[in-house]
Amino acid sequence: MSFRSLWEKINALNKAYLLYGTISVGFIVWMFFLDTHSWIIHSELNQEIDQLEKEREVLQKIIQEDQKTIEVLQNEDSLERFARENYGHKKSNETVFIIEPQDSLK
C-alpha cells in the first residue's frame, strides 16, 4: 500500500467526519436556538409556568380567606358588624364617630 493511497483513505475518512460533524453541530444549533420548540423557548415557558403556579397559590389563599369570611357573615349580627367596620354603615337613628389615632393625622 502506497503512502498516497493511505493518505486518500484518511482524507476521505476526514471528509466524512467533517460532513457528519457539521450536520450534527448544525442540528444542535437549530434545536437549541432556532426551532419553534427550542431550548430557549422552553425555558421561558417553564419560568412562566412557575410564575403562574405561584400566582395560583396566592389566589387560592385569598379564596379560602373569602370563603371563611362568607361563612362568618352568614350570621346577621356579624354581617351588621362587618358593614359598620368596613363600609361605615349605620342605622337611621344613630350617629357614628370615627376616632383615629393621633399619629394618623397630619
Task: Look at residue 104 and tell me if it is in a domain.
Answer: no
Which 8-state DSSP code applies to residue 35?
A: S
CA dist., res. 11 & res. 24, Å (int) = 20
Residue ranges of E strands in the chain: none
Same domain, 46 and 25: no
**Residues 14 and 8 sit within 8 Å (Cβ to Cβ):** no
Model pTM score: 0.53
CA dist., res. 23 & res. 21, Å (int) = 5
Q: Could you tell me the three cell numbers for 16?
A: 466524512
Same domain, 44 and 77: yes
CA dist., res. 41 & res. 27, Å (int) = 17
**In what helix (H) or strand (E) does residue 38 lie, and over which residues does it extend?**
none
Q: Rounded mean pLDDT of 1-5? A: 68
Same domain, 17 and 52: no
**Residues 56 and 49 sit within 8 Å (Cβ to Cβ):** no
Task: Look at residue 72 and tell me if it is in a domain.
Answer: yes
Same domain, 77 and 54: yes
Model confidence over 22-78: pLDDT tens digits? 899 998 888 887 877 788 888 899 999 999 999 999 999 999 999 998 898 898 888
Task: Look at residue 97 and tell me if it is in a domain.
Answer: no
Q: How far is CA 78 from CA 82, 88, 98, in A?
A: 6, 14, 20
Same domain, 31 and 49: no
